[in-house]
Each structure stands twice: as structure tokens, then as C-alpha cells.
Structure 1
Amino acid sequence: MNLDKSLAQKITRDGLISVVLYLAPIVLMFASFQIFGYRPWEGVNAFPFKAPGFVEDVFKNLSSWGLPVIILVLGAIEFAAGLYENKWTKNERILDIVCFVVPKLIIRPFVAYFGLKFLPLVLPDAKNAFEWVPFWWAFLIIAVADDLTQYWYHRLHHQVPWLWRFHRTHHSANYMGMAMASRQNVIYTLFFSQTYLTIALTYLGLGYAALFVKVIKSFITTGAHSSIPWDKPFYEKKWLQPIGWVLERLISTPATHHAHHADTTDDGVGYYKGNFGNMFFLWDIIFGTGIITRKYPSSYGIKHYQEEEWYAQFMWPIFKSKKEGSELSHNGPIVGDAEPVEVHEPVALKSEPTTVAVA
């Protein structure tokens, strides 16, 4: 299925703008070095950054077991508050748990182990090559590179119809919660940029900054998927509204990201064809793909969702659904992220048979 010409032009234009955004932090870093006569690659590093040992331990633990524990605790609060209602069926429950566990216990450790074995073979002289980069500049460069890449990865899975089925699992649930942050098809997860980027940066000597980006991003994306509207006070309390105005344009919040998971755009709140930002909502502001309403959709998911088997949603196209007509079934239709339009052919009345003229 071909892309609409105007959409293809917009993607090309936004792609060129993205190149400038990728380079901007690096250019700014070297400009600051020039202004202040700072040459860290020559060992002239007057502003070294080293966090206290207990801070390092906190972030390392958050990256390994701490963050999953926090997510589980907050998830328990969601359930205790009845925020999932009665929508967490057995099929949905298995899918959410598998999507949460498999990437963390199998895919990411596997990729990390073999990635750090592979890089020394192909880049033997590159180990710690960029450890001279000051921490805060490394943090900014990595945050932009990582999240902007994910923005595009996410956006293209919505705007290129044949890619949609690899991302569909993330949108199929008719509820919102922390579990949604990791609810993805295994192919989508395997090609996800963050794991590979973090491994490469660790090898190049930027692992500490990459770790901070990973932890902070996990907090933001998990909170944006949560059914707990933590951003609501920023819209309702007058003295917090200026902070809220900046916050909702800078990072993803429940209001902006819930809109992305809505099952319709008819209510003026849902916007599943935009609001693609993961950590930074700023990309949607820059590229004009965002909508801010400060409201939360009344319903979520996909209108034509057939609650396909958990294994089909997690491992399509390796395993396919048995649901007839499903996008995930054998030779299923490619409909993209929009609700398919049903075309009903007129049926002739039996009392008035039609005739076909033959030339």
C-alpha cells in the first residue's frame, strides 16, 4: 500500500528537520568548548561530573530491579483503585504479563550480552572513545538521539500501513495502565532502538549518561501510560498552570498520551494519528503532530479489535490469529491504524430481479 503523496512529502520534510535536531546538541557542545577554551578530549576537563556513590547505586538498581518493582507497586495501586474495571480478561492478562516479562528477562539481556561481545570484534579501538564527553552534554545528546529516533520509529508504524500490525498490540487494549508501556509485538521490540543504542554507548564510554536517560525516560513513559491522572492538578490549580503549560509541551503526560490510545477522534480528545512522543512531547510540537486538550478520552483501544489470541498479538507474523478477517490472521487485511470502512453492496429485491445487458 503506497503512502499518500502529501504524507510522503511531510515525512521527508520532517526527516530533514530531524537531522538538524540530531546535530544541534553536538554543535552546541563544541561551541561551548570554543567559547570557554575547554578541551576535554585533551585531558583538560575542569568540570568533571561524578555523582555520589549512593546516587549511582540508586540509578543502577532502578535500571535493574528497582524500576520493575516500582511499576508493579504502582500497578497494584491501579488495580486497588479499580481503574482497570472488568476489562482485564484472561487473554489480556497473559498478553500484558508476557510483554512485560519476556523483553526484560530474555530479549534485552540476550542482546546486551552478545552486543558487548560483538562490538570489540568490529570496533576494537573504539572502547571508551567518547568517555571525555562531559556528563550533562552526553545526557542531552543521548536524550535527543534516543527519543527522536523512537519518535520516528513510532510515527512510521502509524503512518506506513504495512508497519501498523507490528505496533497494533500496543493499541489493542480497551483500557489504559502502566502495563501498556511494554505491551508490544516481539518484532517491534526486537528492532527497538533504545536497547542497541544503550549497549553501543556503554561500549563507547557513555554508559553512565545512557543509564540516566534510560531511567528518567522509563519513569516518564510509564507515567504517561498510567491510568492515574497525575498531571490533572497542573491544569486545575491556577498557581500550577504555568508549570503545566511547559510540562505538557515538553514531556508526555497522561492527558496527551492517553489521547494517542483513544479509539476515536470524533470527540475532539482522542488523537491516535498523532501525539507520537515517548519521553518528549516536544517532537509533536515541532512537527505539528500533537494535540493538547487537557482532557482524557472516554474509551480506548481499536474499534475493530477482535481480542486476538495473546500469542498472535505477541508473535505475529510467526504465529497468526484464528479470528477470521483479523489483521493478524493468515492473509489478513492491511488496514493501517484507521478503522476499516465497511462497504455494503446494494442487494436487489427478489420481487424485482435485475437483468444485465450484454453488448
Structure 2
Amino acid sequence: MKKETISSGRLVRDGLISIFLYAFPVLLMFVVLKATGEQPWLAAIDERIPFKAPDWIENIFRNFRTWGLPVIVVALGIVEFSLGLYENRWKKNEAMLDIVCFAIPKIIIRPAVVYFTLAVLPYILPNAANVFAWVPFVWALFIIAVADDLTQYWYHRLHHQIPWLWRFHRTHHSASYMGMAMASRQNIIYTIFFSQIYLTAALTYLGLGYAALFVGAVKSIITTAAHSSIAWDKPFYKYKILHPFAWVLERLISTPATHHAHHADSTDDGIGHYKGNFGNMFFLWDIIFGTGIITRKYPSAYGIKHYKEEEWYAQFLWPLLKSKKKGSELSADGPIVGDEFPAAVSEEFSEVVPVASVSQSHP
């Protein structure tokens, strides 16, 4: 099959659509405020009392964003292991990589990035702290959710569509299994430059931090559940009465079926779609940009066909540390392969590039 190329025209088109999507929540907010005659930005600072959830709900979300999510991930991981869902594929090298990628970003990298961003912004924008604190809570949720997740969609998509960026994201796709063990599996450079973290930190500085707390928690739940090897979405496809809800669900957010397809090691079965299904919290971006497929089925295998089981430290710290595996993308002067099958690996692996469209079939 002819190799798909990403034309500059398509990127320009999708970029313009993205600009509109970023602006849409803000424009819609002002339209509604105009229609209702409300002008919350004119209120005195001490009158700008933001929405505040009941203390017990707020504590749930605050705890979830700190120690809660890691506890849930570990608990689900134990369930997955007890059910034998990893099928003895969690070898020592893979386990070490997964554990390091789970712990280091949460303990060091992400807190440092947020701290650095919030420390630098007062010097760059000295008079902008809490300037948008007047934004009503519901609209702040909408603005944060779109800005954060659309930015991550593009960050993710470009790491698949630009070959030299692929090696920074390759670590996340090298696992031959899905589940809590590999959900945080990322190269350190990919994590440090995780674009939406800086954006969300900036919006927090500008006064939308309370909404960011809730959006971040909900997004963590959705993305974590989408990586799980527990196929919680299957009942929605099995029972006819739930099909209308399933139709909306799978187009709105990432589910195990749609995200597992993104981690497939091949596209031969018509289910795998590693050059699409880029959505993190919202699968809606893939629908809008035509980069998604929906099959309601699961791939038979995951990972990378040309995976050489590179050392955990090379996968985590490349290009700071290189792999000793000959011919590896992560070795010194390694080839830039991209997320496709290199012809030199084996003639039996012919490249099949997914078509950027949305289709549906029932099991």
C-alpha cells in the first residue's frame, strides 16, 4: 500500500481548525454573558467569589491529584496481574522501565515543571496574576479542558507524524502489553516538554487554577482507564440498549477499544491504528481531524514490530544515554525509523498505513 504522507496543506487546515477550537469556549462564554447581561469582570476583586465545591468533594479531587491517582493505578495494576492479563510479558527490563517512568515524573519532573513555570511567569507577566479569576467556574472548566487536551493531542500527533520526534515517544509504544504498568511509560524528554503542563500552569497563574484541579482529575481518570487491560467498555457494545450511549461515549472520550487500537503493533487486521487515535481525554479531536477509527474491537498484539528490547535506561533517558543494541533507533547513530516497519527488519513486515477516517463495525 502506498505510504501516507502528511501534506503541509492538511496541517495548515488542521491548524486553522485548532485555532478556532481554542477560541471557541472563550467566544461562546462572551456570547452567553452578553445575552444574559452579566459582566463579572467589572466586579470588585473582593466580590469575585469563585465557585467552590463542597469541602468533601474538593478534598477528593485534591487528594486524587496528589496521592490518589498513584494509589488507584497501583491497585488496578494488582488486579490486572491477579487476572493474568500481562501473560508473563512483564520481564525484568520492562518492569524496571515501567516503574521508573511511573515514579520519576510524578515525584520530580512534573512538580518541578509546574514550580518552574509558576516561578517564571511573575517575571514575564508581572501584572497578570489572577487576571482571569472572574471567569465563571463552568466556563473555566470548558476553557481548561479544551486548551489542555487539544494541546496534548497535537503534541502526541506530531510525535507520530514527524519521524525524528518519534524516538522521544517510542518508549510509550514499545510495551507488548496494555495496562496500568505501562500507562506512564514515557521518555524523559517527552515528559519534560509535555506541552499542556506548561499551558495549564500558565492558565492557573492567570486565575483558572481551581477549574484546572477538577479537569486534571477527570482527565487522569479517563486516560488511565483507556490504558487499562480491563475492557470496561465492552458491555456498552454487547448490550443493544446501551448502543446509543456507546455511540456518544466512544466519539467523545478515549476508551480501551479506541486507545488500544493506537497501541497495536500492526494495522493488518483493520483494528490497529497506530498512526491515528491520538486523543487523550477527548477522542473528539480524532473525529474532527479525521485521524480516528472506531471498530469496537481489540488488537491481537501490541507494541512495535521492530522492538529490540532496548535497555530500560536507554528508553527512559535517550538521547542522554544510548542503547547498546545494534541497529536500534536508540543506539549511537541509530536509524530514524518512525512508527512504521523498516523494510530492513524483515520482508514479512510490509507497511500498512491506516486511513484517516472514522468507521464502525460490530463484534
| TM-score, length of structure 1 as denominator length | 0.92
Q: Would you say the 8 A contact 2:151–2:195 is kept in 1?
A: yes
Shift of 1:113: 2.4
Please tell me whether residue 37 in structure 1 is matched to residue 34 in structure 2: no
Could you report, residue by residue, the CA deviation over 1:308-334 in whole angstroms, capped at 9, with x for unpaired residues? 000000010000000000000011011
Task: Specify the SS of the correspondent of 1:15.
Answer: helix
- Number of the residue aligned with 1:211: 213
- Number of the residue aligned with 1:234: 236
Q: RMSD between aligned alpha carbons?
A: 1.8
Could you report, residue by residue, the CA deviation over 1:69-121 in whole angstroms, capped at 9, with x for unpaired residues? 11111111011111011100000000000001000001112222232222222
Could you report, residue by residue, the CA deviation over 1:198-218 in whole angstroms, capped at 9, with x for unpaired residues? 322222111110111111000
Cα distance in 2, alignment partners of residues 331 and 159 from structure 1? 21
Please tell me whether residue 184 in structure 1 is matched to residue 186 in structure 2: yes
Cα distance in 2, alignment partners of residues 209 and 229 from structure 1? 30
- Number of the residue aligned with 1:326: 328
Could you report, residue by residue, the CA deviation over 1:249-274 in whole angstroms, capped at 9, with x for unpaired residues? 00000000000000000001101010
Question: Which blocks of at least 5 consecutive residues in structure 2 are unaligned?
Answer: 348-363
Please tell me whether residue 291 in structure 1 is matched to residue 293 in structure 2: yes
Cα distance in 2, alignment partners of residues 276 and 113 from structure 1? 28
- Number of the residue aligned with 2:271: 269
Q: Would you say the 8 A contact 1:198–1:211 is kept in 2?
A: no
Q: Would you say the 8 A contact 2:50–2:134 is kept in 1?
A: no
Task: Specify the SS of the correspondent of 1:54.
Answer: helix
Larger radius of gyration: 1
Q: Which of 309, 318, 321 is 1:307 aligned to?
A: 309
Cα distance in 2, alignment partners of residues 59 and 184 from structure 1? 25
Task: Specify the SS of the correspondent of 2:190.
Answer: helix
Number of aligned residue pairs: give it. 343
Change (3 A) 1:72 1:289: same
- Number of the residue aligned with 1:27: 27
Letter in 1 for 2:218: I
Cα distance in 1, alignment partners of residues 241 and 73 from structure 2? 30
Could you report, residue by residue, the CA deviation over 1:29-57 in whole angstroms, capped at 9, with x for unpaired residues? 00001000010101188995221111111
Please tell me whether residue 163 in structure 1 is matched to residue 165 in structure 2: yes
Q: Which moved further from structure 2: 270-279 or 50-59?
A: 50-59
Letter in 2 for 1:252: S
Q: Would you say the 8 A contact 1:41–1:132 is kept in 2?
A: yes
Please tell me whether residue 198 in structure 1 is matched to residue 193 in structure 2: no
Letter in 1 for 2:134: W
- Number of the residue aligned with 1:8: 8
Change (3 A) 1:318 1:72: same
Shift of 1:162: 0.7
Cα distance in 1, alignment partners of residues 301 and 345 from structure 2? 25
Change (3 A) 1:55 1:34: same
Task: Specify the SS of the correspondent of 1:116.
Answer: helix
Cα distance in 2, alignment partners of residues 6 and 154 from structure 1? 15
Shift of 1:241: 1.0
Q: Would you say the 8 A contact 1:321–1:329 is kept in 2?
A: yes
Q: State the identity %.
A: 71
- Number of the residue aligned with 1:316: 318
Change (3 A) 1:316 1:233: same
Could you report, residue by residue, the CA deviation over 1:142-183 in whole angstroms, capped at 9, with x for unpaired residues? 100110111011001001111100000000010000233211
Q: Would you say the 8 A contact 1:252–1:280 is kept in 2?
A: yes
Task: Specify the SS of the correspondent of 2:7.
Answer: helix
Shift of 1:5: 6.3
Cα distance in 1, alignment partners of residues 152 and 75 from structure 2? 27
Q: Which of 95, 101, 109 is 1:107 aligned to?
A: 109
Cα distance in 1, alignment partners of residues 238 and 345 from structure 2? 44
